[in-house]
Amino acid sequence: MKPPLKIAIAGLGTVGSGLVQLLDRQAELLAARAGRHIVVGAVSARERRRDRGADISAARWYEDAAAMAADPEIDVVVELIGGADGIALAVVEAALEHKKHVVTANKALMARHGTRLAETAEGAGLALAFEASVAGGIPVIKALREGLSGNRLDRVYGILNGTCNYILTTMRESGREFGEVLAEAQKLGYAEADPSFDIDGVDAAHKLAVLASAAFGRPVDFDGVYVEGIRHVSRLDIDFAEELGYRIKLLGIARLTEEGLEQRVHPCMVQRGKPIAAVEGVFNAVVAEGDFVGQIVLQGRGAGAFPTASAVAADLVDIAAGRIVSTFGVPVGALQPVAGAPMERHHGAYYIRLMVLDQPGVIADIAAALRDQQVSMESMIQRGRAPGEAVPIVLTTHVTVEAAMRRALAAIGGLDTVLEPPRMIRIEDF
Ligand SMILES: NC(=O)c1ccc[n+]([C@@H]2O[C@H](COP(=O)([O-])OP(=O)(O)OC[C@H]3O[C@@H](n4cnc5c(N)ncnc54)[C@H](OP(=O)(O)O)[C@@H]3O)[C@@H](O)[C@H]2O)c1
């Protein structure tokens, strides 16, 4: 057997301690698959005395994770600290500078610096592996980059944030409002104390930008992702979605269009019978559509200590076995920059919910605002009658261009009889 692969782990939190446990329990299995043992030679975290769930006393302890990345004994640095910049970036840069392979679970870092880091790694003949950064335990990067390399991908989309999916699922099942379900998710540990990265769609946008690069061979373009979170999804919308045959999901969607690369994260109405609509709770899923393979669906746990450690371990086995592939599927010089498709030119159907004063003429005014922008209505639901009071009206449109929809909504929102800002959720045609 070849000499062991010596790794250094920076960060021993949820994922880091999951990884040390996996490497301990699966040591022989991994060695058989990699053709050599994988040994933890060094570790770094903030608090040295904290129990990490496995014996790490044989590993050298570093107070400074960036200094650890320069350790001459180490072959691979595993970055599991988190954050787009700061110490995580310093660790990865130091590792590449000192000719170590890098494995990371850090989507924020990959979304912000992925292309540049991939270029540095490639120039030095090193791996920059990031399977765990998108959809946790689901091997989606490997599936897209290697498993589907015989295909031109038309579209890739998925449920990329388990916290949002848990909240939307629980709102539907329990009939409770967003704020209440979020508070419960925080208590159960499914949402952070500061949940904004998750519920405002930023985390999903980081993952989508990375996923889109691997799928379409483009430089990572996080700033080109259109992002809307789930704060404004109300129980009322979820009930109307059910009535119309849809489920509301926060999706990340990437597609190459004539207008450029479309990357968007926002709540979507998806038909109830579609595979993605059935993915509930904290689960993640990614759907890819290739020209030869058709549609594939990957589903599983998108977070958690062991699922995420599973993805990190797979990257380590690849490196140990000498399987080093281009970070985003093609050499960095072959990544083709492409303009982002502006959201205003997006074509799709829309769900609109309005709270209106129940009085004669309201619907005619709304219909006129839509007509003025050539937006064609597909259906309308008005629930209950309460003359002189607020009632919800829901309408769906045929496919239209987003700019026209926005102009129509601005006009509708300006009507005296429309009491709240209109709510708009895009209907997807999967
Ligand atoms: N949690 C998941 O399910 C999941 C899933 C997919 C991807 N990820 C990604 O994996 C990464 C780690 O996430 P996590 O949930 O494991 O985070 P975490 O539980 O907060 O752990 C972070 C670790 O980094 C250590 N750390 C913080 N500052 C440090 C510093 N300056 N030097 C050395 N170590 C430092 C902490 O030390 P102490 O323990 O001593 O405080 C802790 O061990 C993130 O990029 C995250 O986005 C996480």
Nearby residues of 349 by Cβ (< 8 Å), 6 or more positions away: 378, 396, 397, 398, 399, 400, 426, 427, 429
**Sign of the torsion angle spanned by Cα atoms 316, 318, 319, 321:** positive
Q: Which atom of ligand 1 is nearest to the CA of 12?
A: 43
CA of 213 to the centre of ligand 1 (A): 24
Residue 396 CB coordination number (10 Å)? 19
Give residue 97's Cα distance to chain centre. Answer: 29
Strands (E), 224-282: 226-227, 246-257, 260-271
Residue 129 in contact with ligand 1 by CB distance below 6 A: no
pLDDT of residue 388: 82
Q: Judging by DSSP bridges, how do beta strands 101-104 and 128-129 pair with one another?
A: parallel
Residue 160 in contact with ligand 1 by CB distance below 6 A: no
Helix, strand, coil shares, percent, the chain, to 5: 40, 25, 35
Eight-state DSSP code of residue 418: B
pLDDT of residue 1: 83
Q: Give the C-alpha separation, 43 to 92, whole Å.
A: 14
Across 410-425, b (16+ Cβ under 10 Å) vs e yields: ebbeebebbeeebbbb
Annotated catalytic residue 207: yes
Q: Which atom of ligand 1 is nearest to the CA of 46?
A: 40
Residue 57 DSSP SS3: coil
Our mutation pick for probing the ligand 1 site, out of 117, 301, 308, 310, counting the most ligand atoms within 8 A of Cβ, is 308
Catalytic residue among 6, 100, 142, 207: 207
Please give the C-alpha separations between residue 274 and each of 76, 244, 395, in angstroms, as whole numbers.
41, 14, 22
Q: Give the C-alpha separation, 23 to 38, whole Å.
A: 7
pLDDT of residue 383: 79
- The residue among 126, 81, 129 whose CA lies nearest residue 108 is 81
Q: Give the C-alpha separation, 68 to 60, whole Å.
A: 9
Residue 53 in contact with ligand 1 by CB distance below 6 A: no
Atom 18, ligand 1: residue with shortest CA distance: 13
Q: What is the largest CA-CA distance in the chain?
A: 83
pLDDT of residue 217: 95
CA of 33 to the centre of ligand 1 (A): 27
**Sign of the torsion angle spanned by Cα atoms 233, 346, 247, 288:** negative
Residue 11 in contact with ligand 1 by CB distance below 6 A: yes
pLDDT of residue 5: 98
CA of 51 to the centre of ligand 1 (A): 15
Measure the CA angle with vertex 311, ends 215 and 103; round to 5°.
80
Residue 254 in contact with ligand 1 by CB distance below 6 A: no
Task: Please say whether the beta carbons of 7 and 39 come within 8 A.
Answer: yes
Residue 259: both structure tokens together: 């207008």
Residue 230: both structure tokens together: 């789930």
Task: Please say whether the beta carbons of 101 and 77 come within 8 A.
Answer: yes
Atom 35, ligand 1: residue with shortest CA distance: 45
Residue 203: both structure tokens together: 């985390």
Our mutation pick for probing the ligand 1 site, out of 12, 15, 112, counting the most ligand atoms within 8 A of Cβ, is 15
Measure the CA angle with vertex 278, ends 253 and 150; round to 5°.
50
Q: Enumerate the β-bridge partners of residue 349.
A: 427
pLDDT string in tens for the chain (430-residue length): 899 999 999 999 999 999 999 999 999 999 999 999 999 999 999 999 999 988 999 999 999 999 999 999 999 999 999 999 999 999 999 999 999 999 999 999 999 999 999 999 999 999 999 999 999 999 999 999 999 999 999 999 999 999 999 999 999 999 999 999 999 999 998 899 899 999 999 999 999 999 999 999 999 999 999 999 999 999 999 999 999 999 999 999 999 998 999 999 999 999 999 999 999 999 999 999 999 999 999 999 999 999 999 999 999 999 999 999 999 999 999 999 999 999 999 999 999 999 999 999 999 999 999 999 999 999 999 877 788 889 999 999 999 999 999 999 999 999 999 999 999 999 999 8
**Residue located via tokens 């960036």:** 66
pLDDT of residue 385: 77
CA of 309 to the centre of ligand 1 (A): 12
> Half-sphere exposure (CA, 13 Å, Cβ side) for 226?
19
CA of 48 to the centre of ligand 1 (A): 14
Atom 20, ligand 1: residue with shortest CA distance: 13
- The residue among 247, 278, 241 whose CA lies nearest residue 394 is 241
Measure the CA angle with vertex 147, ends 144 and 148; round to 5°.
60
Task: Please say whether the beta carbons of 370 and 396 come within 8 A.
Answer: no
pLDDT of residue 87: 98
Residue 136 in contact with ligand 1 by CB distance below 6 A: yes
CA of 395 to the centre of ligand 1 (A): 44
Residue 138 in contact with ligand 1 by CB distance below 6 A: no
Atom 8, ligand 1: residue with shortest CA distance: 105
- The residue among 307, 303, 316, 309 whose CA lies nearest residue 19 is 309
